[in-house]
Amino acid sequence: MAFTFTTLKTNIADFLNRDDLTAVIPVFIELAEARINRDLRHWQMESRSETTFDERYEDLPDDWVETIRITVDDKFEVTLVSQAKMQELRQHDDSGGRPRHYTFSTGQVEFWPSPDSSYSGSMIYVATIDALSNTNPDAGTNWLLETSPDVYLYGSLLHSAPYLAEDPRIQIWAGLYQEAMTTLNNTSDAAKWSGVGLVMR
């Protein structure tokens, strides 16, 4: 069975045994997506942004969740430091150069040294999952709904419980959601590290 936004809404209504929640079920799904983006760290969420670093402050991608790695000129890794360390570096030397460190400041990436010219930059980062949509046919599904519909289903049901004042069901949905999430995260880790440590003979 191919899972889509439409079938997900139908399944949620069936699990709740309610046919009067058409307007609010999409809200349950949106709330589930917000939590999933906080809880899930899957290799399929990884994305790459190729850009130019030529300012002290650079904007983050719109779908950014967290940074994995930043490189300059395809080979020099830029390392993360605290804001306190960034201030210390600037007090010691505020001249420009190739960025070697970064921190997060007011929703942007701050580099030190500040770029003294245009540098080819690359950021590998965790991106939000493409949101499901009722109005955009291309967003009727995504990789997570196709591979792990239980995460979407139980996450949405979990957010339905407070709305329906069914507190006893919160524990049920929360347990099933957490089990599905743990399995998905573990599966991703196993896939990413499956070849590490093998010795060719």
Q: What pLDDT digit, counting tens, does each position of 15-36 carry? A: 999 999 999 999 999 999 999 9
3-state secondary structure string, the chain? CCCCHHHHHHHHHHHHCCCCCCCCHHHHHHHHHHHHHHHCCCHHHEEEEEEEECCCEEECCCCEEEEEEEEECCCEEEEECCHHHHHHHHHHCCCCECCCEEEEECCEEEEECCECCCEEEEEEEEECCCCCCCCCHHHCCCHHHHHCHHHHHHHHHHHHHHHHCCHHHHHHHHHHHHHHHHHHHHHHHHHHCCCCCCCCC
Selected residue with higher pLDDT from 115 and 201? 115
Indicate if the pLDDT at residue 1 is higher than 50.
yes
β-strand partners of 124:
48, 69
Indicate if the pLDDT at residue 200 is higher than 70.
no
Indicate if the pLDDT at residue 189 is higher than 70.
yes
Q: What pLDDT digit, counting tens, does each position of 77-120 carry? A: 999 999 999 999 999 998 899 999 999 999 999 999 999 999 99
pTM: 0.86
Q: How confident is the model at residue 198 (pLDDT cuts 50, 70, 90)?
A: very low
β-strand partners of 76:
72
